[in-house]
Amino acid sequence: MAARKRASAADTKPSPPPQTQETTTLIDPPIAPPKKALIFKFCLFFSIPYFYLLYQYYTIEQELRRSILINASLCVTGFFLTQRMIPVASRYVLKRGLFGFDINKKGTPQGTVKVPESLGIVVGIVFLVLAILFQYFNFTADSNWLVEYNAALASICFMILLGFVDDVLDVPWRVKLLLPSIAALPLLMAYAGHTTIIIPKPLISYVGQEVLDLGWVYKLYMGLLAVFCTNSINIHAGLNGLEVGQTVVIASAILIHNLMQIGASSDPEYKQAHAFSIYLVQPLLATSLALLSYNCETLLIFFLPQVLNFLLSLPQLSGYVKCPRHRLPRFNPETGLLTGTRDGTLINFYLRMVGPKSEKTLCIHLLLVQALGCCFCFLLRYLLAGWYK
């Protein structure tokens, strides 16, 4: 669901005389320079728990740690590559008319600036390149690992393709639901793990067993999870920096979680599984951070805000309540603040609770909510660790 109004042929203002147009496009970059300070601050902040967990708090095997660090250094390169490619891609994208106007700036001069769309494609391609190249450097890889890894890449690559096709062609929502299910299939095929769930101790008396094998239901759950995650980030969107920001927050939490699990566990297969996750989350984090610098403005529980947003949205998505094309808050050009409408999104709900906010403040608040949700998840696991599993 694009939150930027897609420019139609009728809306495009007549371009200035050809000579000035050409010289300006040659001399000036098409977009503002990246907000490097913000990203640098985040990296500094995040590297503290990252390195602490990796080196101090836990003793992790030399080889495993080396693979993780090789992956991390590859990702640093990926970050700079993505940051360099985004302005380049922006030119091409603008040339082909793939741009929108910022609805939340309508009525101000910034609302007339053409903002290039679909720069997620740069992130996606660099991510894939990093992930493909890493296979060569992971010396602990065996053929089973390669199968799962390539199945993961196939699913991700297919989704990137579908996302870009959707951005260009604007496909109907039924297709948006169907195709991620198919994109997730390689993943489900490659999943060679258990399909059992461990019943929480208090419920054992009701269920009658300690461990319940869900079989194909578990696989169905995984398929639905894939469809949910892809679409939920898409609908919890619309503010400068929200989509990439929420991804960065969740990915960081995932990374910390993986490191903690590797450190605390002694089962090599369990460690490998979490290492696998690290090898894909680090490139995601690195490439997303690069995009964020231009865009500023135990897994389901990390997505707590997205789940909330989805539940709030249900009445409108199901058609029970009238659902407009965009469900963004109302922008007041005079005050520069956003006010919550009666639409069922987390953004509007939050605004109705705390009152009108500027777009930037609102986004930071929502990302803090996201981060709090992740902290809550860690706390929950810690408290239940002895009691739950």
Partner 1 sequence: MILLGFVDDVLDVPWRVKLLLPSIAALPLLMAYAGHTTIIIPKPLISYVGQEVLDLGWVYKLYMGLLAVFCTNSINIHAGLNGLEVGQTVVIASAILIHNLMQIGASSDPEYKQAHAFSIYLVQPLLATSLALLSYNWYPSSVFVGDTYTYFAGMTMAVVGILGHYSETLLIFFLPQVLNFLLSLPQLSGYVKCPRHRLPRFNPETGLLTGTRDGTLINFYLRMVGPKSEKTLCIHLLLVQALGCCFCFLLRYLLAGWYK
Residue 53 Cα distances to 85, 226, 259, angstroms: 32, 29, 7
- Structure-token match 């000035």, residue found: 20
H/E stretch holding 198 reads strand 196-198
Stretch that binds partner 1, among 164-172, 211-219, 234-242, 340-348 (CB under 8 A): 164-172
Interface characters, 33-72, with partner 1 (x: CB under 8 A): ----------------------------------------
Q: Does 299 bind partner 1 (CB under 8 A)?
A: no
Closest approach, Cβ 128 to partner 1, in A, equals 8
Give the contact letters, 168-207, x = binds to partner 1 (CB under 8 A), - = no.
x---------------------------------------
Q: Which residues contact 245 (CB under 8 A, 6 or more apart)?
A: 292, 363, 366, 367, 370
CB neighbours of residue 18 within 10 Å: 8
Nearer to partner 1, 124 or 344 (CB): 124
Is 235 near partner 1 (CB under 8 A)? no
**Rule CB under 8 A: is residue 160 a binding residue for partner 1?**
yes
Taking every pair of Cα atoms in the chain, the longest distance, rounded to a whole number of angstroms, is 79
For residues 122-151, which are near partner 1 according to CB under 8 A? 124-125, 129, 132-133, 135-136, 143, 146, 150
Q: How far is the CB of 135 from partner 1 (least distance, A)?
A: 5
Angle formed by the axes of helices 36-51 and 242-264, nearest 10°: 10
Q: Is the Cβ of residue 7 or residue 153 nearer to partner 1 in the bound state?
A: 153
What own/partner pairs with CB < 8 Å and gap ≥ 24 does 327-336 have?
327/238, 328/3, 328/103, 328/104, 328/238, 329/104, 329/362, 331/103, 331/104, 331/105, 331/106, 331/107, 331/359, 332/356, 333/106, 333/107, 333/108, 336/108
At closest approach, how far in Å is the CB of 149 from partner 1? 9
Question: Which residues are at the interface with partner 1 (CB under 8 A)?
Answer: 89, 92-93, 95-96, 98, 121, 124-125, 129, 132-133, 135-136, 143, 146, 150, 153, 157, 160-161, 164-165, 168
